[in-house]
């Protein structure tokens, strides 16, 4: 749009109003809700990774397994980074989550910037070697939540999501390779993982690129799921190396009320 | 940004190609720039401050003593026979809920607040979403004793707030030494959005009552210099309080120019 060559199409005006309205509602209004975690706190709060509560942090000896700490920014674009890395070589489980959001049939987006170290030492994808998304694999009500998966048995990111409302989760290979250079600098690149629902259409993005599922843009799921949360689970129950785990730069959520 | 019933919280128009309605500076261009500026200033700049507590942090232990965190941004000032902790969302539109309840029955008192803000004579917006449960409203202290209060400060501070107690059936508004009823009844099991703003010199109280639309309940012309303002919430019960009496809170935010 340049001077004296307008006007823009009406969509521009309405979208400006819509986006501005959503941001203001999320800040001080009633119709949107947003939570940002930029991992900007240089001191880890015991029991928490940023504002996410650590639900499980244990190795096979029953003691805390992971070092949760602010990490140095290592490249342009790193803006508050947390590292969650194994202290020893014993197998471990680490799980963290936020409070729940009852999204009902409303739009939402959950987005995280992550980097995995020593992916090959993680449990297989089917055993949640690394799961990040909107909730657990299957809850007490048999609901499966959309998530990105990684594991020691697969070199690529996968997606876990039902193909129909109330159906079981189906795991799909995204084809996006997870570069993994172990724990030696320079590490693998960051991955921005985004789950979006707009009008019942659930879509997945890696680094801003839409991931097709079964050849389609996304999955159309009415009334699923009712609740979401920012959630991460990772495990490596085979003997591992020091410093296995992940780095995270942010983990955000935006929901329409 | 201080009027929750107008742009940007509601669109000005749905614009159509062909020029109707016209996109004007008064309605669209200037307000859009102003609101974007406030958001950017609130995020990264110097001229505005926004703090939004979404209660999205799960508690690892109950907030049960002065100094405990309540949510992420508020601190418990007083906790007598009460606990505050996160709980699961109840229904559509709930995004991170904390609960405060009476532990053993009888006298209880809970106060949580954030740091002071010097609003001065400027505009502002304070927004909160709360709900009572377990028949709590009937067992609160009287309104004058701050059975439940939420706003910029307590009654003694003279700062604008909402408050209630079983001696009045409705939500009360308060500022500058005087309380005025709203006509909106207080009931258990209902989410209330309670918004206090100042637009120009007018302090305004708004309530969204369950599924009903947000509505302006009271206007008070009061351009006084407001100091020591906080996001402040209190639940206070006398000996009649019952175990598990309490309230949920979903959101507590403020926006104010610097």
Q: Residue B257 has what pLDDT?
A: 94
Flag if A27 and B214 touch (Cβ within 8 Å). Answer: no
The HSE-up count of residue A52 (CA atoms within 13 Å, CB side) is 32
Nearest to A28 among B88, B97, B253 (CB): B253
Nearest 10 degrees: Cα torsion B231, B121, B181, B183? -80
Q: In degrees, to the nearest 5, what angle opens at C-alpha A110 toward C-alphas A246 and A95?
A: 40
Q: Residue A75 has what pLDDT?
A: 81
Mutation test of the interface with chain A: which of B3, B61, B95, B256, choosing the one with the most A Cβ atoms within 10 A? B95
Q: Residue A184 has what pLDDT?
A: 64
Flag if B50 and A20 touch (Cβ within 8 Å). Answer: no
Q: What are the tens digits of pLDDT across the range A75-121?
A: 888 899 999 999 999 999 999 999 999 998 899 999 999 999 989 99
Where residue A73 falls among pLDDT bands split at 50, 70, 90?
A: confident
Flag if B56 and A20 touch (Cβ within 8 Å). Answer: no
Where residue A140 falls among pLDDT bands split at 50, 70, 90?
A: confident
Q: Supply the DSSP string of chain A, one letter for each residue.
A: --TTS-PPPHHHHHHHHHHHHHHHHHHHSSSEEEE------SSPPTTEETTEEEEEEEETTSS--EEEEEE---STT--SEEEEEESSSS-EEEEEE---EE-TT--EEEEEEEEEESGGGSPPGGGTSEEEESS-SS-TT-----EEEEETTEEEEEEEEESSTTPPEEEEEEEEE----TTSSS-PPPEEEEEEEETTEEEEEETTEEEPBTTBSSEE-TT--SEE--EEEEEE-S---TT-EEEEEEEEEEEE-
Mutation test of the interface with chain B: which of A21, A27, A28, A226, choosing the one with the most B Cβ atoms within 10 A? A28
pLDDT over threshold 90, residue A223: no
d(CA B69, CA B63): 6
State the nearest Cα–Cα gap between B180 and chain A, in angstroms. 24
Q: What are the tens digits of pLDDT across the range A2-27?
A: 555 566 777 788 889 999 999 999 99
- Cβ contacts of B86 on chain A, cutoff 8 Å: 99
pLDDT over threshold 90, residue A200: no
Question: Is pTM, for the whole model, over 0.95?
Answer: no
Flag if A24 and B15 touch (Cβ within 8 Å). Answer: no
Flag if A30 and B35 touch (Cβ within 8 Å). Answer: no
Residues in chain B, pLDDT under 50: none
**Nearest chain B residue (CA) to A22:** B9
Q: What are the tens digits of pLDDT across the range B156-215?
A: 999 999 999 999 999 999 999 999 999 999 999 999 999 999 999 999 999 999 999 999
Q: Is any Cβ of chain A less than 8 angstroms from the Cβ of B142?
A: no
Which tokens go with A57? 């942090």
Choose between A13 and A65: higher pLDDT: A65
Nearest to B15 among A14, A30, A98 (CB): A14
* A to B CB pairs, distance under 8 Å: 136
Strands A227-228 and A101-102: antiparallel
Where residue A42 falls among pLDDT bands split at 50, 70, 90?
A: confident
Percent of chain A with pLDDT over 90: 67
d(CA A167, CA A74): 42
> In sequence order, what are the beta bridge partners of A169?
A162
Flag if A33 and B251 touch (Cβ within 8 Å). Answer: yes
Query: Edge-to-edge strand order for the sheet containing A130-133?
Result: A48-49, A52-59, A92-97, A231-236, A130-133, A147-151, A154-162, A169-177
Q: Residue A165 has what pLDDT?
A: 79
Average pLDDT value for residue range A36-45: 89
Where residue A141 falls among pLDDT bands split at 50, 70, 90?
A: confident
Q: Residue B21 has what pLDDT?
A: 81
Q: Is any Cβ of chain A less than 8 angstroms from the Cβ of B90?
A: yes
Three-state SS for B33?
helix
CA distances from B172 to B75, B101, B177 (A): 25, 22, 13
- Cβ contacts of A103 on chain B, cutoff 8 Å: 92
**What's the mean per-residue pLDDT of chain A?**
90
d(CA A130, CA B146): 49
Which tokens go with B179? 């309380």
Nearest to B28 among A13, A23, A98 (CB): A13
């Amino acid at each position: 749009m340049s001077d004296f060559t307008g006007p823009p199409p009406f969509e521009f005006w309405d979208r400006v109003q819509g986006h501005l309205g959503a941001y203001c509602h999320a800040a001080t209004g009633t119709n949107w809700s947003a939570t940002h975690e930029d991992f900007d706190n240089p001191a880890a709060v015991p029991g928490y990774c940023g504002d996410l509560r650590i639900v499980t942090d244990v190795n096979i000896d029953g003691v805390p397994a992971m070092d949760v700490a602010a990490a140095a920014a290592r490249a342009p674009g790193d803006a508050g980074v947390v590292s969650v890395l194994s202290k020893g070589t014993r197998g471990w489980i680490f799980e963290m989550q936020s409070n729940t959001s009852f999204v009902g049939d409303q739009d939402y987006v959950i987005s995280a910037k992550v980097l995995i170290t020593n992916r090959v030492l993680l449990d297989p994808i089917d055993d949640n070697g690394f799961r990040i998304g909107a909730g657990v694999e299957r809850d007490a009500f048999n609901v499966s939540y959309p998530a990105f998966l990684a594991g020691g048995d697969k070199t690529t990111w996968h997606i876990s999501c039902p193909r129909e409302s109330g159906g079981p989760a189906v795991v799909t290979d995204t084809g996006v390779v997870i570069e993994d250079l172990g724990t030696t600098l320079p590490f693998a690149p960051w991955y921005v993982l985004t789950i979006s629902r707009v009008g019942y259409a659930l879509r997945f993005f890696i680094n801003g690129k839409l991931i097709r599922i079964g050849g389609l843009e996304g999955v159309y799921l009415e009334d699923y799921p009712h609740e979401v949360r920012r959630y991460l689970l990772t495990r490596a129950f085979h003997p591992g190396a020091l410093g296995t785990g992940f780095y995270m730069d942010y983990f955000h959520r935006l929901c329409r009320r | 940004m201080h009027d929750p019933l107008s742009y940007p919280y509601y669109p000005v128009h749905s614009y159509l190609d062909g020029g109707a309605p016209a996109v004007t500076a008064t309605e669209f261009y200037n307000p859009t720039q102003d609101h974007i500026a406030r958001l950017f200033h609130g995020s990264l700049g110097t001229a505005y401050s926004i703090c939004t507590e979404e209660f999205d942090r799960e508690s690892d232990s109950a907030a049960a003593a002065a100094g405990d965190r309540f949510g992420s941004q508020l601190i418990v000032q007083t906790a007598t026979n009460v606990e505050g902790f996160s709980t699961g969302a109840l229904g559509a539109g709930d995004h991170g809920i904390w609960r405060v309840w009476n532990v053993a029955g009888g006298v209880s008192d809970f106060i949580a607040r954030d740091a002071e803000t010097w609003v001065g004579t400027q505009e502002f917006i304070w927004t909160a979403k709360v709900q009572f449960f377990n028949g709590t409203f009937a067992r609160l202290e009287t309104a004058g004793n701050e059975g439940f209060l939420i706003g910029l400060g307590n009654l003694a501070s003279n700062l604008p707030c909402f408050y209630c107690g079983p001696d009045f059936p409705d939500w009360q508004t308060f500022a500058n030494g005087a309380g005025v009823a709203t006509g909106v009844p207080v009931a258990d099991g209902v989410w209330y959005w309670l918004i206090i703003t100042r637009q120009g010199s007018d302090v305004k109280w708004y309530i969204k009552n369950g599924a009903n639309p947000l509505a302006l309940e009271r206007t008070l012309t009061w351009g006084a210099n407001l100091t020591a303002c906080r996001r402040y919430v209190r639940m206070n019960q006398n000996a009649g309080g019952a175990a598990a009496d309490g309230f949920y809170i979903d959101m507590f935010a403020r926006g104010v120019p610097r």
